[in-house]
Each structure stands twice: as structure tokens, then as C-alpha cells.
Amino acid sequence: MTTITDSHCHLDFPDFEGERDAIVARACEAGVARMVTICTKLRQADQVRAIAEAHDPVFWAAGTHPMSAASEPMASVDDLLTLANHPKMVGIGETGLDYHYTGDSAAVQQESLRIHIEAARQTGLPLIIHARDADDDMARILSEEHAVGSYSCVMHCFSSGAALAETALNLGFYLSMSGIAAFKKSQELRDIFAAAPLDRILVETDSPYLAPPPHRGKRNEPAYTAHTARVGAAVFGLDYADFAKATEANFDRLFAKAAAWGKA
């Protein structure tokens, strides 16, 4: 079976309560052989870690979501370094900037983002970025920090403009394709992905949100990564198997700790 990875989901969310075993099983049946479940508030790290420990195909990452940056305790680099010692903790975040609903906390979000970048720099784990309605500040901070010292990064659920995509790609970062890229109205976004190098593309669900067709409007889950990946294959003019192989190689390169776990 052709396999792919859901590089970003939220299996700890209450939408999945009581169903996690079945959800992971359905993902594997659909060829989604690995999942990264994302902790968005550090006080919830224990429960997210426990999900990864209970399911061999599941890895985890941790950070403070930008929409929670002002309401949660400020993460420290040491906090993130400690969490990163876990063998299945494979990324820093999600972090980033979101000015759509929480623009009034922009300064706090930016401080939190820089802390997460430093943790990514020190651990060598990829930074997982959420960006919404903050393209200019995001491009500026990512570039400023990269000039201080390099780090790796994925622009999760990328749905920003072409300029931010170009900045991210020029820094050596990756763009992740979510169900948004499969929506009928998203041709402009598909064009941005089509202009990117194939070796910088990941796929994800961001489940339980953003289910791709034919499940749009319903609860998303990792098994549906395959629907988005089929759209991605069409965007790049590839067979599904070839696109899946490319995105798997990209995931292994960026999330090297997860790749090493699989080999072990």
C-alpha cells in the first residue's frame, strides 16, 4: 500500500474522545502510516504525550498556539527543551502569529514565537508555524531569526500569500498542504503550491478541522489526508504514488527524529 504521513493533527481534542483507537486504525487502513499530534497549550502536554505513547504510528509536538499566547503562561526555552527529551516528541509548536481574531496580543505572540524559534534552534527539531493575517510580521521575524542562527521549519496548513511562501521557501522551509488546498475556491492557493519545489511539500489534516472533499463540513480525521494528497498529486501532475513517495521523503528529511524512530 502507498503510505503517507499526516504531519499535523490534534488527536487530544475532545472531538475524538473515546474514538482514538478507531481513528488511528482507520488512518492506517487508508495508508496514513504516521501522524503527528500537536499540543497547543503546554499544560496539556502530558495528555498529548500519552496519546503518542499509546499508539506506535503517532508522534507529538508541543508549543503554545498564538491565539493562546496571551492567556497561557509564557513558555520558556527550557520548558520546550525538557519536553523535547521525549523520544517521540518531534517538533516545536505549533507557534506563530494569528492577527485574525487575536491581533491585540500581537506583541505577546511575537515574543512567544521567538522563544519557540530558539528552542527549535537548540534542539534541531522543526518549528511548526501557524500564520493567519500576519504575513508581513511573520516573514520579517522568520528572516530576522534565521539570520541569527539557522533552524528548520514547516508552514503548517499553509494558506497565506505568495510573498510569505517565497520567503519561507528561500529560507529552506517547507509548506504543508491541508484540506483548504482541496476546496474548490482555493485555486490561487493551489497555484502557490504548484510554484513551490516538490521537495518542500508536506500534507496534513489539521483535524478535527478543515476536512477536504468529500467530507467538507464534517469532522476531519487523519485518514482523510489521502484526499488532500490526491489533490496535491494533481497539482504537481504526478501519480498519487509518486506524490506520496515525495512527501514521505520530505517528512523524513524535516522530521528526522520521527524517521529515526521508524527505522529503530
Annotated binding site: 8, 10, 94, 130, 156, 206
* CB distance 125 to 257 below 8 Å: yes
Distance CA 64, CA 119 (A): 12
Query: Cα separations (Å) of 103 from 65, 98, 137?
Result: 13, 7, 12
Cell of 227: 484526499
Distance CA 30, CA 33 (A): 8
Q: Would the CA dihedral through 224, 176, 97, 37 be positive or negative? A: positive
DSSP codes joined into one string, 138-194: HHHHHHHHHHHS---EEETT--S-HHHHHHHHHTT-EEEE-GGGGSTT-HHHHHHHH
Cell of 85: 527529551
* CB distance 129 to 155 below 8 Å: yes
Closest CA to 33 of 11, 55, 49, 15: 55
**Taking the chain, what is the end-to-end CA distance rounded to the nearest angstrom?**
21
Strand partners, 210: none
Mark the binding-site residues for a divalent metal cation, compressed into ranges. Answer: 8, 10, 94, 130, 156, 206
